[in-house]
Structure formats: structure tokens, C-alpha cells
Homo-oligomer: A and B are copies of this chain.
Amino acid sequence: MIVVLRLGHRRVRDARVTTHVCLTARAFGASEVWVDAEDRELERVVEGVVSRFGGPFTIQTGVAWRKALQAFRGVKVHLTMYGLPLDEALTDVSKVARGKDVMLIVGASKVPGEVFGLADFNVAVGSHPHSEVAALAIALDRLTEGRWARTKFKGASVAVRPHPRGKDVVQLRAGKGRVAEEE
């Protein structure tokens, strides 16, 4: 089980980027996302995607991050441009993670210094400033060995059928699902 912990979320400023973090977590193989600040609208958006495109995937907001980090029994990996290179670190992470849950920690802007100490590993997806969304996608891709490309989600009400030139969205069952434009 992989859980993503999102730190430093501010509802207005980070609304869209945190939404991207949550949906990237879901699409690339995490089964939960925990967000430090409470945000009902974010929960609604993410749960709407799970309802339409399937799960399992859950979101919790208003999570006490320090307690969550301290209580987590698996391997805690903080994604930061200051950490050790992903390719090198992954060998060590994989050794320790065997059979254990993994937490991936991603910050918005500045992360409290103590996170570097509370994490088991500080890992850089490139030592350059870019995006926690990109870092999360690449880290999940590597950790799961690209399993996202073959994942079947359960309980979806709609599905996209790959198409070379247009949009082909299939209604799978009557219910809450709406065939809407997705971001």
C-alpha cells in the first residue's frame, strides 16, 4: 500500500496543484492521499473522480501531519530536490520497503526542516526545481515499475476508450457518473 502525504496545502493558493497531486497519486498507484489542511472542496473533487473513474482510492484532509509521520509503520520517503538521486536511493528504499507500506511525502513550497529528519529517506527526482506533481509521478512510476499502465480500477461508472483522434467515453453503469470534461 502506498500513501501520499501532502504538506503545506493552502486552500486558495494551492487548490489546483494539490488537486493534481491527489489525482496523480490515484492514477499512478497510490491508494490513499492525506492532506494536512482541511479542504472539503478538494475532497469533493477527488471523490468525484473516484466515483466516476473507479478506485479504490481515498482522501483525508485536515490530517495532523507530524503525528501521521511519527505513527506511520512503513517506509517514509520525502521527495525533495535536496535529497539523494532517485535511481540510487530506490535500491535502498526497495530493500527496506519489502512487504511494508510506503509513504511518499510531498510539500507545497517550503517544507518544515524536521520533515528531513522524520523521513527514512530524502529522495530527489532530479536536483532541480520543478514540480511535486512531476516528482510524485516519476517516483510512483519507478516504485511500482510502471504498473499504472496496466491497472484496472474498480467500481467506475465511466471509462475512456483510447482513440487516435478524438474522445471516446463509455458509460459503464447508471448511477452517479457523469460524462464530463475532465482536466
Question: A residues bordering B, Cβ < 8 Å?
Answer: 13-14, 16-17, 20-21, 23-24, 26-28, 49, 53, 81-87, 108-110, 113, 116-117, 121-122, 124, 126-138, 141, 148-149, 153, 159-169, 181-183
Copy tally for this chain in the complex stands at 2
A130 near B27 (CB under 8 angstroms)? yes
A115-B159 Cα distance, complex, nearest whole Å? 22
Q: Which one of A26, A159, A167, A169 has the greatest number of beta carbons of chain B within 10 Å?
A: A167
> Smallest distance from the beta carbon of A42 to chain B beta carbons, Å?
14
Provide the bound-state CA to CA distance between A100 and B117, in Å: 46
Q: Sample 29 A-B pairs with CB under 8 A, ordered by A number.
A: A14-B16, A17-B20, A20-B131, A24-B130, A24-B131, A24-B133, A26-B128, A27-B126, A28-B134, A81-B182, A82-B163, A82-B167, A83-B163, A84-B162, A84-B164, A85-B162, A109-B183, A116-B165, A124-B162, A127-B159, A127-B161, A128-B153, A128-B160, A129-B183, A131-B183, A132-B183, A133-B134, A137-B137, A138-B141
Residue of B whose beta carbon sits closest to that of A159: B127
Contact at B159–A24, with CB atoms within 8 Å? no
Other A-B pairs beyond A24-B133, A83-B162, 10, CB < 8 Å: A17-B17, A21-B131, A24-B134, A27-B130, A82-B162, A82-B163, A83-B163, A129-B182, A131-B183, A133-B137
- The chain B residue sitting closest to A121, CB to CB, is B164
